[in-house]
Amino acid sequence: MEHLGPQLFNGLVLGAFYAIVAIGLSLIMNLTGTINMAHGSFMTLAGYLAYTMVLRGTSFWFALIAAPLIAVIVGIAVERTLVRPLYRREPFYSLLMTFGLSLIAEEAYRLIWGANGVPFAPPPALNGALGLGFMVFPTFRIFIVLVLIVALIALALVLTRTRFGLRLRAAVQDTEMIAALGTNTQVLYAVNFGLGIFLAGIAGVLAAGMLGLSPTSGNALLMPAFVTVIIGGMGSLFGSIVGGLLIGVAISMTTLFVPAASEVSMYVLMAVVLLVRPRGLFGEEGIFG
Amino acid sequence: MDRPSLSRRSFVTLAGGAAAAFGAPAFLPRIGEAADTLKLGLLEPYTGVYAAEAEYETAGFTMAVDAWNARGGVLGRKIELVKEDEQNDPGVAAQKTRKLVNQDKVVALMGSVSSGVSLSIAGASNALGTIFMDSGGHSDDVTGKNCHWNVFRTCHSTWMETHATGYALAKRFGKKWFLITPDYAYGHSLETGFKDVLSHIGGTIVGDELTPLGTTDFSSYLTKVDAAKPDVVMVLVQGDDYTNCLKQMNQFGMLKKYPVAGPQVELEALYGLPPEARGGYWGIEWYYNSDKTLGKNNAVAHKFVRDYTARFKKPPTARSCFGYVTVDRLLAGMAAAKSTDPVKVARAIENVRFTSIFNGSAYYRKEDHQLMWPMWVAKIRPNGTPGDKYDLFDVTDIEAPEAVEQTVAQKEAVCKLGYP
Amino acid sequence: MSGRAALAAGAAVLVVLLFAPLLAPLVKLDISIVSEVLLMAIAAMGVNLLLGYTGLPAFGNAAYFGLGSYGAALSVTYAHVGFAGAVAIGTVAGLLGGLVLGPFLLRRRGIYFGLLSIAFGQVFYFVAYRYTDVTGGEDGMNIVRPAVEGAHAVVSDSAFYYVAFAAFVVCLAAFRTVVGSPFGRTLVGIRQNEPRVRYLGLNSDRFIFVALLLAATMTGLAGALFGLLIDFAYPLELDWHQSGDFVLMMILGGGGTVWGPLLGACVYVIGKDIISTITPLWQIFLGALFVACVLGFPRGILGTLEAAVRRRDAGRFTDDDVNAAFDPNAPVEVGRGA
């Protein structure tokens, strides 16, 4: 049982990752019904940009913010030109479109940064382990949790305390009404998409430091993020947080007790949730009825 | 149904679309196609997770083919490589195999990185009666229970990897091992190999942790190491799991506390790791900068490394060596057989001793078609050497193939080559 | 008249397919890739029945495909059955998969049906991946293509093509019959308005279950034949990417049309084969194909052209037209293309 503590912590770190990716997905899905299969590609993009920046001599801290911002610019450009025309169509089309984009992106990364994985290390200050007597935590993981918490609080403040957040939440409820009341919904869509990509970008840079960076690495996190959205409930950001943590813990606990089932555990969890409570733990009825 | 909606016009379009799809390749001549060249089919995963390995392997193939063409080719014909992307998918690989043999009329097939793809090409090429030189798929089955008369394998078998490193590391550090094993096919066969080594030398496994593929956190396994007090910690995990495992071992200070070792590591993977995750002793299959791997006075090997580095702007890896040796021996076989007839070529490759770009001599064993060549163990230099960031290995041991591969008797029990 | 013309055109396509072993080499295509097109078309037909006609997002059909493939491979390896036996066992394995998953999948509709399908599909994937002793795990399993029962000749690649062709024709005929029958019209009715179908006294669950079993059987057949075509079974056949490929083929060709899956499979399989030979950057072109398809052929190639011809107003779609292929409230002719 001495592994329970560390394993629980690790499950939570993993879960926090899934949560932040899932929230980005969820933001985009809620407002526009777009299932963004290219979300993982944007994570990888931010990771590679941060890698290049650090290689050129900028600090890790600068890259942690700047790389996701550049990914946001690319993201908004993609949204304006390719995704926007599909908003009034069935979700299949944006799914097909973004899947196509993710194929193109993977190949583009291979062309630009090479097929080989590249080394991307967190700065030395974050590279040790923190001993707490009874267990040891790698510093970078604690840092990851802190960054993710800050990002989530910031997001919550944006959504609840700003005019933009208010409009966004209103638009999710009734886009036509908010448009009639004079809000430029096109700007809202673009900014919302950018916000989702920004979260993906942050997660992408952190994941590059923890898990390694290669043209295919971001896509590995995509499926768990989708499962997170489903378990937490579509339409609920709080649900995504709970869902992510739940999956993280489920994976780490099955790893410890039933190793053979660790990969399949999140899918089983998802199937159970869908059967018992299809809208997810905190989801709203009606979205994607 | 007074008006069936699938009109004549749309059917014409359907037929036209189908015709366009069928007809397209006729208008697209292959680049470099010339009359009467000798075509060799090369199947590599240029997309997907093994794309880097595929690149290095292809560079090795290219080097050897160019060298043969510079000498006038083989059987009086120039050699042409016809490349196909097998996409790291056994199904695609089987189909591309047929395409290469039936449509492109290649006289032999080579390539691949993953074991599944190698096994799939081996089966398909056997049905077609075409030589397949497996350059880089490591599964024991390729030269074991799924062996075929037409299949030769250049890289080492899993059994060779575990036995070479096992014996070398037991001599160096001791016989009490702690294993961190990935819980899938490849991991299980490595585990079996190591257990066999220990049964021969009277060693013990003091811990064996089975970790699921995709484990991001190894701390719960690593914390068990201290209690077990092993002589060596054997890390069998690969890919991203390897990265995570080594990073955490470093964070826990274990790289300094225990000898950390494993059956195999590839330079391609190490280049993707930050220096702090590089460490320990590993089985390697070739190296560009050591007399132990190249042979002190082996001019061919040293020239290969020089030319390769000049041409591709980075040094070759073991994958490049696989590619070079594979096509070089295939062409030598054709030259000796004075024919491209698969059976004659296969017979001409078997049991012929040769020297190449590695230390010492080797041969493709007659009974199972496994290349019998040495394996090495190296200590990792995390930051390379001054002036060469690629120079990550300090080669420490060399193991002769006969001592580390299963014996002929063991192989004959499972492998029936089945010549026609 | 036009009904007869359509019939003639369909017959023409079948005649071309009948002579494919003679025609394919002329354009440097291997006959086995044409076999693959037909098998993928059968699998895409399975998606079409569920998604195109009934409106259920079948995102996990690779489960039946892989069951078929492993069913054939395992029965050849461990029970040494002949060719026909392997095909039969694989097909039944697909059907059994449908029987087991059906009762769970039936409980959900819409996107939730799709997600549930993915979840169950992944469970099968990981079983194949992990159960190394039996399935060969990640490495997959080699088989030697068995001879037909009673005969001793191995089924050659060209002979195999006719097996695939026969399977395709049988499935196509069954498919046409089903979607043109009252049963098929009820499926379309379920897509348009399920509560109304129930209100009419029909147990829609039962209809969906039968459609699911039909799709699972067809997909199992395709999987079994694919396993025997490449003489190999491997876990990726069960993965969600494979399911996605089937859906893409259907959408590419045109959902809710009889011939769409064949066209989609043809463009996807042969297009990928050709482009990946020409350039290692084939993913860029494949990705661009999806983008172009979404922007230029929103109802699939066949569906878009059909609609264009009907309206004589090509290239001027409203989004509502586009959605009509999936929109429950759009007016759709029942038994379209039948």
Across the interface, whether the CB atoms of A3 and B220 are under 8 A apart is answered: yes
Which pLDDT score, from 0 to 100, does residue B27 have? 42
- Which chain B residue has its CA at the smallest distance from C264's CA? B18
Which pLDDT score, from 0 to 100, does residue A166 have? 87
Angstrom distance (rounded) from CA B112 to CA B91: 13
- Which chain B residue has its CA at the smallest distance from C143's CA? B123
Tell the burial category of C202 from Cβ atoms under 10 Å away from its Cβ (0-12, 13-18, 19+). middle
Name every residue whose Cβ is closer than 8 Å to that of residue A163 and which is 6 or more positions away in sequence: none
Q: How far is CA C119 from the centre of its chain?
A: 19
Give how far Cα B361 sits from Cα of A54, B70, B284, B356, B388, Å. 46, 24, 17, 7, 29
Tokens encoding A54: 């650090």
Query: For residue range B288-334, what is the model confidence (pLDDT) as tens digits?
Result: 999 999 999 999 999 999 999 999 999 999 999 999 999 999 999 99
- Find the CB nearest B185 among C138, C143, C145: C138
Query: For residue range C283-322, what is the model confidence (pLDDT) as tens digits?
Result: 999 899 889 888 888 888 888 877 777 765 444 455 555 5
Which pLDDT score, from 0 to 100, does residue B135 have? 95
Which pLDDT score, from 0 to 100, does residue A132 have? 65
Better pLDDT: A264 or C100: C100
- Find the CB nearest C112 among A100, A264, A274: A274
Which pLDDT score, from 0 to 100, does residue B294 have? 95
Which pLDDT score, from 0 to 100, does residue A159 have? 87
Neighbours of chain A (3+ CB pairs under 8 A): B, C
Which pLDDT score, from 0 to 100, does residue B22 have? 45
Average pLDDT over every residue of A59-63:
93
> Is residue A102 pLDDT above 90, yes or no?
yes
Within 10 Å of residue C196's Cβ, how many Cβ atoms? 12
Say if B268 is an interface residue toward chain A (CB within 8 Å): yes
Give how far Cα A255 sits from Cα of A16, C204, C284, Å. 18, 41, 37
Better pLDDT: A3 or C251: C251
The mean of the pLDDT values for chain C is 87
pLDDT confidence band for C62 (50 / 70 / 90): very high
pLDDT confidence band for C2 (50 / 70 / 90): low
Across the interface, whether the CB atoms of B217 and A252 are under 8 A apart is answered: yes
Residue type, B293: T
> Is residue A262 pLDDT above 50, yes or no?
yes
Query: For residue range A140-178, what is the model confidence (pLDDT) as tens digits?
Result: 888 988 998 999 899 989 888 998 888 888 888 888 888
Query: How far off is chain A from C94, nearest CA to CA, in Å?
Result: 20
Query: How far off is chain A from C91, nearest CA to CA, in Å?
Result: 25
Across the interface, whether the CB atoms of A216 and B49 are under 8 A apart is answered: yes
User: From the candidates B46, B238, B247, B383, which should be mutated to test the interface with A, based on the most A CB atoms within 10 A?
Assistant: B247
- Which chain B residue has its CA at the smallest distance from C260's CA? B14
Helix (H), strand (E) at residue A65: helix A60-78
Q: How far is CA C201 from the centre of its chain?
A: 31
Chain A positions touching C284 (Cβ under 8 A) are 103-104, 107-108
Which pLDDT score, from 0 to 100, does residue B6 have? 40
Chain B positions touching C28 (Cβ under 8 A) are 25-26, 103
Which pLDDT score, from 0 to 100, does residue C76 have? 95
Chain C positions touching B24 (Cβ under 8 A) are 27, 270, 274
Better pLDDT: A99 or A67: A67
Query: How far off is chain C from B394, nearest CA to CA, in Å?
Result: 32
Query: How far off is chain B from A160, nearest CA to CA, in Å?
Result: 34
Give how far Cα B311 sits from Cα of B60, B176, B316, B328, Å. 11, 45, 10, 19
Query: How far off is chain C from B90, nearest CA to CA, in Å?
Result: 7
Q: What is the mean pLDDT of each run of 10 residues along chain B (420 residues)?
A: 40 45 44 70 91 94 96 93 94 95 95 92 94 94 93 95 93 92 84 92 90 73 84 87 81 83 89 84 94 93 96 95 97 95 96 95 95 95 90 94 91 91
- Which chain B residue has its CA at the smallest distance from A4's CA? B220
Angstrom distance (rounded) from CA C179 to CA C338: 7
Of the candidates A82, A80, A86, A73, which has an alpha carbon nearest to the alpha carbon of residue A102? Answer: A82
Better pLDDT: A283 or C92: C92
The mean of the pLDDT values for chain A is 86
List, as ranges, residues 194-223 from A with C-beta within 8 Å of C.
Answer: 223
Is the ipTM beyond the 0.85 threshold? yes
Residue type, A74: V
- Which chain C residue has its CA at the smallest distance from A287's CA? C111
Which pLDDT score, from 0 to 100, does residue B395 have? 95
- The string of DSSP codes covering B184-215 is SHHHHHHHHHHHHHHHHHT-EEEEEEEE-TT-
> Is residue A99 pLDDT above 70, yes or no?
yes
